[in-house]
Structure 1
Amino acid sequence: MILRIRSRDGTDRITVPDAAAATVGDLQRLIEARATVPVAAQRLSLDPALLLPAPQPPLLSDPAAPLASLPLANGSFVYLSYPPGARSAQPPPPRALTAAGSFGKKMTMDDLIARQIRVTRQEAPFCSAASFDRDSANAFQLHVSESLAFAVKRAGFLYGRVDAETKEVLVDFIYEPPQQGSSDVVQLMRDADEEARVDAIADGLGMRRVGFVFTQAVGRKASETGEYTLSNSEVVQAAQLQAEGGIPEWVTAVVKLEVGEDGSADVHFEAFQMSEVCVKLFKDGVLETEVKDSDDPRLSKMRKEVIAGGKDTMEVDNDFFLVPVKISDHQGPLSTGFPVENRGIPLPASALRSHMDRAKHLPFVKRISDFHLLLQIAAFLDVKADVPTLAACVGHQAEVPEGYRLLIDALAGQT
């Protein structure tokens, strides 16, 4: 356990090797070795009032008291007072003063809280795995590789189910919102009405939004300090959408092109969760959301000082925020033959008729078991009543009511 020992001369970090068995006396001896203040001269307290000219707070006066019996955790402050000249070695000169720098400078409560934010790696995700419908994943990556040549970023929202027992996320379709991509950023130009129709379709299918997927361009900005998995702008976007997602199992997937030593290129899917700390930093306004061209893409900037890797810093390696998720695939309940929305090419007028004609040998409910087709039809239906009802027929592979059949046939005939 690491404790931060605050005195009028600054802060020392003390590592307590066996916190479960250590006592106050052990801590005092560690302080003597690190801060060169003799045990006899030390006065310790958990109350910062110890360092103020005010009535003295309760002291940690029993050397035999176990640290485990005190309200201490990794990174906690212990306050140390001692007579002038008690240190046998003076502390190093302080850093240049900042708004929350030297003890002699007034500090706000926000400054004090910010100094206690610890950025550590999250060891395990909240979802056990992420499985992608093969056809949906393939349709997404084919567009990026064949039409966009991985030259610009592309993104989509993942929809599917979360297994209540195993916590596995099953992605059954991908919705691609209106967007504009470059080599480093994909800007979502979200359409609230269209998203409402998407969510209504998902609800009828017994699904929900479960994550976000984006591609990385082959010409993305390089970092002078090393390789990176996600850029600072990607961390911000992923944290924002995970915070909006509202479920602990939310998954962020990355699709990228990897070139082997022999020159061959393969498309790879990877899945992550943004750590709880990352999402909290975003929600609390600590994570800097304005990314400048001059910023190192490997590092995420903070608006307040945090502790990462055992030191105070205003920049955090993006890898600290990533929690890898196992990835697999499955065959979902929907087909993917209908043209995908918002790809910059107007939907052909004959798209619905052509699709229905190609699948005319199938039962009617099978012919419309395609999310992208349902999304086009949904524009002509009541989003609160008709859209979930029609999607439920698809979800249960039930008979489609005649009224919906007539409407769809009419739409196909009109195109």
Structure 2
Amino acid sequence: SGAAKPPPAERPGQGHWRGMAKVVVRLVTSSGRSRIEVPATATFAEFQAEVHSRTGVEPALQQFALDPKGQRSVSGDPSAQLAQIGIANGAQLHLVNKEATIAAQVLTKVPVPVEPEAAVAKSGAGAAGGQAASSSSGTAPGPAASNGGSSSSAPPPKQTTAIENKDGKKADPKFETFDAFLRNRRYDTAALPGSQRYVSSQLKQGGMIKLPPSVSLKQQPYRHIDTLSVINVPEMENFIGYWQSDLLENGMQRMGWMYGYYLEDKNYDEGCRAVLEGIYEPPQNMIGETAHPSDDDPWMSCVDRIAEALGLERIGWIYTSLLLDDGQLLSPVEIQRIARLQNEHSTDIHFTKYTLSKFVSCAVRPDPALGGLPSLNPFMVSDQCCAMVRDGILAESTDRKHCIVREPVKNELISDFLVEGKPNKKLLTDFFIVRVNDTAPKKHTRMFTHADFPRENRPTQPQSREALKKYFRKLSNSEPLWSRFADFHLILYMAREIDVDTALAIAECIRDRKEIPEGTQMLIKEITR
């Protein structure tokens, strides 16, 4: 059979109101702000329902005004369109009810319903004769403090135990959750690193010179993701097992894109949890000591579409590497690569409109404390680091321990970066690291009931019709049909072997736990004869 052609890429953000004109209203309450988008044809009642979902104030009790004191009130017939009662696109509307609260954590899509699991320590997850151990559980080793000087050294990061507040929520000594941090600042984001621009100045003869301001290098006190939850443990075991058994002895590394969704992390005050459901391994090549995805993967957009049909999205990436020198957490090359990925996967949908990223990086390395067995190490880098990479401040470093501020070109002035009050061009990577906790669930309530079908782009384990027949022969006929298809890589293979629309239909059946259409069943039976 001929392979299906990859579909055209779909723009990110194409959603429920695709192509429909919208009205954007900036809602202000006593506890925060929220950006509300509704169709231009929305009625006042529909707008009130959206406000209720954001604030908890019943529509009948909502009191709107164009000013904070409520003197210029706004109201109208529930069936009237917003424009008819004076609510225009871009309007700032005040909800003067004092009991209103803003749902602080804005997710990119509605999460898949799963049973929330408690944060637990992973004793180990078997992978090809070995184990993948959790790097943290209820603990978050934070970045170490640095001394000044061009080649300053830092003490190894300390293990810090999360403690509980009076309300039973954990408080990490190193990091606050982002929304709790903002709440204490009255939601002011103007001074945050992601809002800054590191713009250089030019020397001009006979003119006034505006020196770029100095910048203090600080460890970030908050994080955007508090926990990476590996809910599909067999998927992680398979990824690590392939690296251990087929690649490691030849010095080869592996990477993959992590797919899942975001949930509120109830272990932390207004926390956010990234939940891993699947890993897509794109075509890739070794560049130096690391695996890099090919720039021209024609199926990447197809994978994203299938993930969206499943209710999932790309939440990060995972990569393998050898142990770094001197117990280092991330190398300068890794720091900049992670920053670029976070910048590529950033968004301003947070209710403050602050641009941020929830894209998690997970390093898999041998752990000497575990006898060389692989350990999961989830990270992000700071907003300040992302801004410096975005604005081209950091050089492509050859230093194994420091990120280097690039040298200015002729007649260019670059900001001084201060470490403990002293200008320094060699910046320890520890300043930029944000540790993320990782957990495994006690109960496997994952979306995919199977993780056995061969992965994509593995030369030693190709996908084929014979592999498809073998996969289905192993399954019991008493198992619901949707469950038999609930393997991430099987669905991706269906897109290639049959067509994308069939794969999308199967994905939606798995998402909703409903039977596969009869026509699709007959087609699969014909293929697997």
Q: TM-score, normalised by structure 1?
A: 0.66
Aligned equivalent of 2:453: 338
**Which residue of the other structure, out of 218, 236, 244, is the alignment partner of 1:120?**
218
In the alignment, the residues of structure 1 paired with residue 276 and residue 458 of structure 2 have an alpha-carbon distance, to the nearest angstrom, of 21
| % identical aligned pairs | 26
Q: 1:121: Cα distance to partner?
A: 0.9
Q: Which amino acid aligns with 2:374?
A: V
Moved more, 300-309 or 208-217: 300-309
In the alignment, the residues of structure 1 paired with residue 376 and residue 505 of structure 2 have an alpha-carbon distance, to the nearest angstrom, of 34
**Which residue of the other structure, out of 321, 325, 330, is the alignment partner of 2:436?**
325
Q: Which amino acid aligns with 1:336?
A: A
In the alignment, the residues of structure 2 paired with residue 181 and residue 308 of structure 1 have an alpha-carbon distance, to the nearest angstrom, of 36
Structure 1 residues 124, 403: closer, same or farther in 2, change over 3 A? same
How do residues 7-406 of structure 1 correspond to structure 2 at under 5 angstroms? 112-113=211-212, 115-132=213-230, 133-149=232-248, 151-164=251-264, 166-181=271-286, 184-218=289-323, 222=325, 227-246=327-346, 248-260=357-369, 264-288=371-395, 290-291=396-397, 295-303=398-406, 304-309=414-419, 310-330=421-441, 331=444, 332-334=446-448, 335-345=450-460, 346-361=462-477, 362-380=479-497, 383=500, 385-406=501-522
Instruction: Say whether the 8 Å CA contact 1:204–1:390 is kept in structure 2.
Output: no
In the alignment, the residues of structure 2 paired with residue 412 and residue 107 of structure 1 have an alpha-carbon distance, to the nearest angstrom, of 76
In the alignment, the residues of structure 2 paired with residue 320 and residue 121 of structure 1 have an alpha-carbon distance, to the nearest angstrom, of 5
Instruction: Say whether the 8 Å CA contact 2:463–2:493 is kept in structure 1.
Output: no
Structure 1 residues 179, 308: closer, same or farther in 2, change over 3 A? farther
Q: How many residues align?
A: 304
Structure 1 residues 153, 395: closer, same or farther in 2, change over 3 A? same
Instruction: Say whether the 8 Å CA contact 1:185–1:233 is kept in structure 2.
Output: no
In the alignment, the residues of structure 2 paired with residue 138 and residue 259 of structure 1 have an alpha-carbon distance, to the nearest angstrom, of 19
More helix by share: 1
In the alignment, the residues of structure 2 paired with residue 271 and residue 105 of structure 1 have an alpha-carbon distance, to the nearest angstrom, of 52
Moved more, 337-346 or 189-198: 189-198
In the alignment, the residues of structure 2 paired with residue 387 and residue 239 of structure 1 have an alpha-carbon distance, to the nearest angstrom, of 33
RMSD: 3.1
In the alignment, the residues of structure 1 paired with residue 491 and residue 423 of structure 2 have an alpha-carbon distance, to the nearest angstrom, of 52
Q: 1:241: Cα distance to partner?
A: 1.3
Q: TM-score, normalised by structure 2?
A: 0.52
Instruction: Say whether the 8 Å CA contact 1:253–1:272 is kept in structure 2.
Output: yes
Q: Deviations over 1:102-130 (max 9, x none)?
A: 99998865xx33x4333311122111211
Structure 1 residues 252, 327: closer, same or farther in 2, change over 3 A? same
In the alignment, the residues of structure 2 paired with residue 381 and residue 397 of structure 1 have an alpha-carbon distance, to the nearest angstrom, of 22
Structure 1 residues 246, 406: closer, same or farther in 2, change over 3 A? farther
Higher relative contact order (CA 8 A, sep 6+): 2
Q: Which amino acid aligns with 2:458?
A: R
Secondary structure of 2:259's aligned partner? strand
Q: 1:344: Cα distance to partner?
A: 2.6
Gaps of 5+ in 1: 1-72, 76-98
Q: Deviations over 1:216-261 (max 9, x none)?
A: 125x6x5xxx54211122112211111112353221111111224x
Q: 1:380: Cα distance to partner?
A: 4.2
Gaps of 5+ in 2: 1-190, 194-199, 265-269, 348-356, 407-413
Secondary structure of 1:271's aligned partner? strand
In the alignment, the residues of structure 2 paired with residue 108 and residue 257 of structure 1 have an alpha-carbon distance, to the nearest angstrom, of 52
Larger Rg: 1
